[in-house]
């Protein structure tokens, strides 16, 4: 598509004789579209040109040569140049792009770049909690968006399947395994065993010692211990898959901490070589004080076992070699900020190419708060995730039943609406913000919610159908080839067209900032823009030419909502 900003930058550069790329970066989008579609802040040039912004603005306006078929006019308002793009050109550009491509906004700007995303990563024999849900949803949205922009993306489910707790689990199972039916309700039963053995360990040092031995045996690949560990892992994964089946979640690797652990000795060797590894109370640590990190990183515990941090360092080595990554994103709550600071700083001592250490990024997110407080497994307000998702579906079904009792496929629709609502809620605010989980807000069809996006989409579809157009035919039969875009010059239509025009730019912002909420907010803006348009314009009118133009507008809104929501991991119902 034509880049309007580029047109503006080039025209300005012809006047001021400065590099158009530099000028391009200064161009802004005014908050109020009454002030133009793009604005150039002349104070950015004041120093270089040794003139006041007001004088610069007047001079540029005087001398600038604009192609009125692209940029209609330019105004000066206190040091700003405000540009108005040609409305027909905008509509034509959007129309031609829709006719040209199969998937609007898809691009190849990421070609040749490898992105790995470490997300979801629940822990074996422990519940899949709400933090893992957020990680899954954010990670998946980023995965989809990077992929859509042509990056080579790999999703890594780095399972927490290693650590001394498995020595305890094995001991507990040995003692009481026959009392439990862990196949039936794996996570709860395993949790139960874990709590019980932990209590026993507190009172009986001999049991604790046996647990340690079990873990040692597990590390040495003792068949009995490995078998049990595999059983715990398999049963946990079966449970986790129930959640992925409902929620979505694509992973290219399920290699967890256990598969990385054998590489820890290599990490220790490399760190020794760096001369920074030191002994402290029997543990091996690295002091990071001079790097501005007050807490040292522990690489090896005093009992000889490796740490979570050491395994993350080993994983970096492994991933650099295996995936040759340009970017490695770690999606966890902000509780792990210190951990990743330490790990990323220490990774610089492994002798890796800077490309890798510069590519490490912690993508952190806030807590999920129930209206009654924090949702956590430790503090007792346990919410089982599967139950939460089921409740979402049930509640959605009730709402649908009320609004549209005769609709077919209620269950299928309720699933898309309920899960869509949960996902959208997770992505609707800046990720670092704590999120409030309130059913009434999440499932409100009129609020800034997933169901609202779906509802608007369904509405666009039904309008198109009412006009006698089969959506499936649109691409194949080039239905919109001959529409007259002159009918789309009113402010409401233009507002929609501008948003649609910006779609790819929005996706780029999502990947630049690792922030899916940029896309979710944008989808709300489009849905609202369509409501505004629809409330003041009839779509199905007598005049065929106007009707077709408005149906086209309706169609592209639906497409953007469908594609955008799809990138967020939300499916669209056909009706609701």
Q: In angstroms, what is the minimal distance from the CB of 60 to ligand ARG? A: 51
Which residues from 119-178 bind ligand ARG, rule CB under 6 A?
A: 121, 123, 158, 160
For the bound state, the minimum distance from the C-beta of residue 343 to ligand ARG, rounded and expressed in Å, comes to 8
- The residue of the chain with the least Cβ separation from ligand ARG equals 160
The encoded tokens of residue 285 equal 């640590």
Place of tokens 């991933």: 319
Under a CB-based contact definition with an 8 Å cutoff, are residues 215 and 167 in contact?
A: yes
Closest CA to 168 of 211, 222, 125, 210: 211
Q: Report, in Å, the least distance between residue 185 CB and ligand ARG.
A: 21
Q: Report, in Å, the least distance between residue 312 CB and ligand ARG.
A: 5
Nearer to ligand ARG, 121 or 134 (CB): 121
Query: Closest by alpha carbon to 449, among 576, 323, 342, 324?
Result: 576
Q: Tell which positions 264-323 bind ligand ARG, by CB under 6 A.
A: 312, 315
Nearer to ligand ARG among residue 121 and residue 431 (C-beta): 121
Q: List 255's β-bridge partners, or say none.
A: none
Strand ranges for 272-350 from DSSP E: 277-280, 283-286, 297-300, 327-333
Shortest Å distance, C-beta 386 to ligand ARG: 17
How far apart are CB 315 and ligand ARG at their closest, in Å? 6
Locate 209 and state its tokens.
Answer: 């010692």
Neighbours of 6 (CB within 10 A): 14
Tokens 């579209």 locate to 33
Provide the total of helices (H) and of strands (E) in the chain, helices listed first: 24, 13
Rank residues 123 and 425 by Cβ distance to ligand ARG and give the closer one.
123
Between 140 and 332, name the residue whose CB sits nearer to ligand ARG.
332
Spatial contact of 280 and 295, defined as CB atoms under 8 Å apart: no
Q: Which stretch binds ligand ARG (CB under 6 A): 115-123, 369-377, 413-421, 489-497?
A: 115-123
C-alpha gyration radius of the chain: 28
Contacting range for ligand ARG; rule: CB under 6 A; set: 104-112, 117-125, 186-194, 220-228: 117-125
Cβ 121 vs Cβ 330: under 8 Å: no
- CA max distance for the chain: 89
What's the min distance (Å) between Cβ of 132 and ligand ARG?
A: 6
The stretch among 116-124, 191-199, 204-212, 500-508 that binds ligand ARG (CB under 6 A) is 116-124
Contact between 266 and 317 under an 8 Å Cβ cutoff? The reply is yes
Q: Which is nearer to ligand ARG, 38 or 194 (CB)?
A: 194
Of 267 and 469, nearer to ligand ARG (C-beta) is 267
Of 332 and 346, CB closest to ligand ARG: 332
Q: Are 207 and 171 in contact (CB under 8 A)?
A: yes
Whole-number minimum distance, CB 129 to ligand ARG, in Å?
8
CB 100 within 8 A of CB 138: no
- Kindly state the smallest distance separating residue 569's Cβ from ligand ARG, in Å: 19
Q: Which residue has the tokens 């290699």?
A: 255
Nearer of residues 14 and 377 to ligand ARG, judged by Cβ: 377
Residues 170-229 within binding reach of ligand ARG (CB under 6 A): none
DSSP 8-class letter at 300: E
330 touches ligand ARG (CB under 6 A): yes
Measured from the CB atom, is 118 or 515 closer to ligand ARG? Answer: 118
Size of the site for ligand ARG (CB under 6 A): 9
- Minimum distance between the CB of residue 160 and ligand ARG, rounded to whole angstroms? 3
Nearer to ligand ARG (CB atom), residue 83 or residue 158: 158
**Sign of torsion over alpha carbons 472, 473, 478, 479:** negative
List the one residue from 136, 332, 342, 493 that touches ligand ARG (CB under 6 A).
Answer: 332
Nearer residue to ligand ARG within complex by CB, 238 or 466: 238
Cα distances from 497 to residues 222, 260, 501, in angstroms, run: 64, 49, 6
Q: Which stretch binds ligand ARG (CB under 6 A): 118-126, 144-152, 294-302, 387-395?
A: 118-126
What's the min distance (Å) between Cβ of 164 and ligand ARG?
Answer: 15
Query: Using the rule CB under 6 A, which residue among 7, 72, 97, 118 binds ligand ARG?
Result: 118
CB of 443 within 8 A of CB of 419? no
Question: Is the Cβ of residue 315 or residue 317 nearer to ligand ARG in the bound state?
Answer: 315
Q: Where does residue 296 rank: exposed (0-12), middle (13-18), buried (19+ CB within 10 A)?
A: middle
Q: Return d(Cα 97, Cα 1) in angstroms, integer.
A: 7
| Rounded CA separation 94/100 (Å) | 10
Binding residues for ligand ARG, per CB under 6 A? 118, 121, 123, 158, 160, 312, 315, 330, 332
């Amino acid at each position: 598509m034509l880049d309007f900003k580029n047109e503006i930058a080039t025209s300005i550069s012809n006047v001021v004789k400065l590099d158009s790329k530099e000028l391009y970066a200064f161009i802004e989008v005014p908050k109020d579209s009454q002030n133009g579609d793009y604005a150039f802040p002349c104070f950015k040039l004041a120093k270089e040109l040794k003139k006041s912004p007001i004088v610069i603005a007047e001079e540029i306006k005087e001398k600038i040569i604009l192609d009125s078929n692209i940029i209609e006019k330019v105004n000066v308002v206190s040091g700003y140049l405000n540009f108005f793009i040609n409305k027909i050109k905008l509509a034509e550009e959007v129309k031609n792009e829709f006719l040209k491509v199969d998937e609007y906004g898809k691009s190849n700007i990421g070609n040749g770049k490898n992105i790995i995303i470490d997300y979801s990563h629940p822990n074996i024999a422990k519940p899949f909690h709400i933090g893992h849900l957020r990680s899954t949803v954010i990670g998946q949205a980023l995965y989809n968006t990077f992929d859509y922009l042509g990056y080579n993306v790999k999703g890594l489910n780095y399972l927490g399947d290693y650590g001394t707790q498995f020595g305890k689990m094995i001991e507990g199972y040995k003692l009481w395994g026959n009392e439990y039916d862990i196949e039936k309700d794996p996570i709860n039963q395993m949790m139960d065993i874990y709590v019980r053995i932990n209590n026993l360990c507190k009172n009986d040092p001999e049991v604790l010692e046996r647990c340690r031995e079990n873990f040692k045996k597990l590390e040495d690949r003792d068949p009995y211990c490995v078998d049990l560990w595999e059983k715990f892992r398999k049963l946990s994964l079966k449970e986790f898959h129930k959640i992925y089946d409902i929620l979505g979640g694509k992973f290219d690797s399920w290699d967890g901490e256990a598969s990385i652990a054998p590489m820890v000795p290599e990490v220790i060797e490399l760190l020794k070589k760096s001369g920074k590894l030191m002994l402290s109370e029997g543990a091996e640590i690295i002091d990071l004080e001079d790097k501005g990190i007050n807490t040292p990183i522990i690489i090896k515990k005093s009992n000889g076992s490796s740490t979570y941090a050491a395994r993350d360092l080993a994983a970096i080595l492994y991933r650099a070699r295996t995936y040759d990554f340009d970017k490695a994103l770690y999606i966890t709550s902000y509780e792990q900020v210190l951990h990743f600071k330490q790990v990323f700083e220490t990774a610089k001592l492994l002798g890796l190419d800077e490309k890798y250490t510069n590519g490490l990024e912690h993508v952190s997110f806030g807590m999920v708060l129930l209206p009654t407080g924090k949702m956590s497994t430790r503090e007792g307000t346990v919410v089982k995730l599967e139950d939460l998702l089921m409740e979402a579906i049930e509640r959605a079904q009730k709402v649908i039943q009320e609004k549209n009792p005769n609709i077919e496929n209620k269950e299928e629709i309720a699933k898309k609406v309920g899960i869509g609502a949960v996902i959208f809620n997770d992505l609707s605010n800046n990720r670092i913000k704590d999120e409030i989980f309130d059913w009434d807000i999440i499932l409100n069809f009129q609020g800034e919610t997933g169901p609202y996006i779906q509802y608007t989409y369904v509405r666009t579809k039904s309008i198109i159908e009412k006009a006698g157009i089969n959506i499936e035919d649109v691409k194949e039969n080039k239905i919109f080839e001959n529409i007259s875009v002159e009918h789309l010059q009113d402010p409401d239509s233009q507002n929609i067209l501008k948003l649609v025009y910006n779609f790819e730019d929005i996706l780029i912002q999502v990947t630049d900032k690792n922030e899916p909420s940029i896309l979710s907010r944008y989808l709300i803006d489009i849905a609202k823009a369509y409501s505004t348009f629809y409330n003041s314009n009839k779509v199905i009118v007598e005049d065929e030419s106007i009707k077709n133009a408005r149906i086209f507008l309706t169609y592209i809104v639906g497409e953007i909502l469908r594609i955008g929501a799809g990138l967020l991991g939300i499916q669209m119902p056909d009706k609701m």
